[in-house]
Structure 1
Amino acid sequence: MSHRITVIGGGFAGLTSAITIAESGAQVTLFESHHTLGGRARTAEAGPYRTNEGPHALYNGGPHWTWLKQRGLLPPLAPLPPLEAARLRLRHRGALRRIPPLAMLRLLRRKPEQAPVDRDFLSWATDEVGDEGARAAAHYAAVALFHHDPGALSAAFVHARLRRATALPPEAHYPRGGWSSLIDKMAGRAWDLGVRIETTVRVDSGTLAARAKDGPVIVATSLDAARGLLGDASLRGESGRTTLIDLAVRRHRGDAFVVSDLDAPGWIERFSAADPSLAPQGEQLIQGQVPVGPGESKEDGVLRAEQLLDLGMPGWRERTTWRREALATGRTGAVDRPGTTWRDRPAIDRGDGVYLAGDQVAAPGVLSEVSFTSAVEAATLALGAVRRQITA
């Protein structure tokens, strides 16, 4: 095809759209405002440490896994040693435990279709297994939600993610070297297909409008950025607000692999347990997320993270060699309130040849799977628009 499609945003969604379009023979130009590709999937180098923007894992139960595998885009994966997997710990009633409450395990037996869309998770789960198991399950599910009150969200939404997060064998996998290894492979595929990639280019609303006159445009940015670009105040969606903590400490044999908080939402994980390349020899990289409510600060989340570290990694303060903290607001994927589903989020097709992709739009999936699914759908719609122009 001689028509050129524009993709704005070089993160996971933007690269997925660009590859999908180029594979169909259309010309694609991708604009990225940053000097490197990746978006929130970008891996940063902080001295000798390689960190993602908060905990990242690639779930093999989603559609993007098959898509990546079929194209040879799955990067080398870091296997988790069985001994490390056995070191998952849970804070429950203020103490560190190895197994969750039995009531929480009973809840996992409920099939996805049993969880209603129009009820909140906590009240539904309490009716099913009692208050203790319901609260523990809600807090554990925060690993896939980044939200301060999972129990207040749709029962169907939370239960589906709880089952994914507790699946055996585990669905979570770790790209060796961080998510940049995945982005690098996707960027290479895009280059090979002839995608024109321009970095350090910030597209404004005027440029977008001009591009839309020449062909379809896919806006693969955050919802906040898309709202400004499109001048559309309706582009809003609820997301989490969470404290992110990165920590490097000297190794200690007794450190837990994961500490999941069942008393409140929170998750701490030693990412270098699976991938030692993330930190220098003799050190280990810890990343965590602790969701905070509207009236809480980043420091409140940091304090709770430190409590988890005290339980699971005693003496961590004396062993710390590097530390960083941040507050992520509206950058951790969509959440659904009772009575709503992914279909109620901002539509992919915005009209006039403009399409939306990202992790808070109308597409199903868990975390990055929403970006992937919306990106493929946006690319398919854009290609359909081009074909209609050709045959008109």
Structure 2
Amino acid sequence: MDITVVGGGLAGLTAAIAGAENGANVTVLESHRTLGGRARSTEPPYVANDGPHALYTDGAPYRWLAERDLVPPLVRPSLGSLRSSRFRYRERLTGRPPRTLLKALARRGLSAPVERDFASWGAERLGEESTRLVASMMGVALFEADPGRLSASFVWERFRRLTRPQVPAVRYPVGGWVRLVERMADHALAMGVRIETGHRVDSLPEGPVVVATSLAAARSLLDDPSLAWESGHSLMTDLGLRSADDPFLVSDLDEGGFLERYSAHDRFLAPEGEELVQAQIPVRAGESRAEATERLERLLDTALGDWRERLTWRRDQMARGRTGALDLPGSSWRDRPAIDRGGDVYLAGDEVAAPGLLGEVSFTSAVRAANLATSRAPAPLG
């Protein structure tokens, strides 16, 4: 069987590998000159990812990669780094979370309903201030300025996943996410997958096709206006800074922002004597880019002090509709655009009907899409 995968990001490469494992002849068509999609990294000397990226070793996608020896060398935050982490609360940095947030952590055993919004459910079960702090803390995982409007189950389950009382499962590929992309691409090529970069697809190829693009691109390619789902909107800024005694990460409990010093665990990401920092803040409804930038820079002022005097490099990105799915009250991942579109067309990506945290949805949906495209009976999702 011949199948085509449109898109050479993580979802596309996963679908290609899974399809080849099922015996298909696979061709990957990628419009960009390089593979990776949102998992691309910038060229040295500052190796920055397109948004905050991490692998979670407690998830099924990690196990899928590990079983195929596709996981590149990883590092995890050191104990010293974690101890240097801070919270921004009431315009000040603190090394300990507020008591009202600890109260929410103590109630992790609660189950939240799908049909209610997080703000009203949280106010009843956690208290209004605890609910606000949980919502702010989840800014890095949701890219949403108002998590209270989302499904209570959607927000709460992600909070529980990221705050498990055990050794953090987060890991970072040494040298940036481009290393994971390279490893997956080499594996696909060794399996006989044909990869064409710089190949823009304007119409569907013949035969089974896995469309592993953004949902917006899939909507245009398939001419299907139903391919729409709620997604985040966030401003992300990468900074090269001359080294100083900066915190490893700062969770902004005032406005939902986040800051992480990636070079703390990987010295290859910035030149010697410098640090690579990424900050982000969710963009509010109707807020201009200039207004969002002003709020993000206030976070930087609080967290990094003299960052302007130490600045050696800067990159700003506005991410909209490319930060994963957001489930509104009354909906879950099962209600998102279906993977099987009929007519031998299948979707893969982070906004389709598959479970997982952030990019894990791309892996999960891609494996299922490849199994469907090759007529393999797929295991149930979730």
- TM class, shorter-chain normalised? over 0.9
Which structure 1 residue ranges, 5 or more long, are not aligned? Answer: 387-392
Structure 2 residue 360 is matched with structure 1 residue 377: no
Q: What is residue 269 of structure 2 aligned with on the other side?
A: 278
Amino acid at match of 2:294: L
- 1:296 is matched with which residue: 263, 287, 295? 287
Amino acid at match of 2:90: R
Structure 2 residue 356 is matched with structure 1 residue 358: no
Structure 2 residue 132 is matched with structure 1 residue 166: no
| 8 Å contact from structure 1 (residues 219, 354) kept in 2 | yes
Q: What is residue 247 of structure 1 aligned with on the other side?
A: 239
| 8 Å contact from structure 1 (residues 246, 288) kept in 2 | yes
Alignment partners' CA distance in 1, 2:65 and 2:347: 21
Amino acid at match of 1:43: S
Q: What is residue 80 of structure 1 aligned with on the other side?
A: 77
- Higher alpha-carbon deviation: 366-375 or 92-101: 92-101
SS in 1 for 2:18: helix
| 8 Å contact from structure 1 (residues 164, 171) kept in 2 | no
Q: What is residue 340 of structure 1 aligned with on the other side?
A: 331
Alignment partners' CA distance in 1, 2:22 and 2:8: 19
Alignment partners' CA distance in 2, 1:256 and 1:111: 27
SS in 2 for 1:51: coil
SS in 2 for 1:50: coil
Alignment partners' CA distance in 2, 1:224 and 1:243: 19
Q: CA deviation at 1:197?
A: 0.5
Structure 1 residues 242-290: Cα deviation after superposition (integer angstroms, max 9, x where no partner): 101010100012x111111111111011011111110001000001211
Alignment partners' CA distance in 2, 1:79 and 1:286: 16
Higher helix share: 1
| 8 Å contact from structure 1 (residues 217, 354) kept in 2 | yes
Q: What is residue 16 of structure 1 aligned with on the other side?
A: 14
Amino acid at match of 1:368: G
Alignment partners' CA distance in 2, 1:232 and 1:358: 16
| 8 Å contact from structure 2 (residues 86, 247) kept in 1 | yes
- 1:63 is matched with which residue: 29, 42, 60? 60
SS in 1 for 2:331: coil
Which structure 2 residue ranges, 5 or more long, are not aligned? Answer: 378-382
SS in 1 for 2:374: helix
Q: CA deviation at 1:158?
A: 0.5
Structure 2 residue 31 is matched with structure 1 residue 33: yes
SS in 1 for 2:47: strand
Aligned pairs, number: 376
SS in 2 for 1:317: helix
Structure 2 residue 97 is matched with structure 1 residue 106: no
| 8 Å contact from structure 1 (residues 101, 133) kept in 2 | no
Q: What is residue 140 of structure 2 aligned with on the other side?
A: 143
Q: What is residue 367 of structure 1 aligned with on the other side?
A: 358
SS in 2 for 1:73: coil
Structure 1 residues 50-83: Cα deviation after superposition (integer angstroms, max 9, x where no partner): 1111111111121110001111111111232221
Q: What is residue 177 of structure 2 aligned with on the other side?
A: 179
Alignment partners' CA distance in 2, 1:127 and 1:104: 15
- 1:127 is matched with which residue: 121, 124, 127? 124
RMSD: 1.4
* Sequence identity percentage: 55
Alignment partners' CA distance in 2, 1:166 and 1:311: 24
Q: CA deviation at 1:110?
A: 3.6
Structure 1 residues 168-201: Cα deviation after superposition (integer angstroms, max 9, x where no partner): 3212211111100000000011011000111100
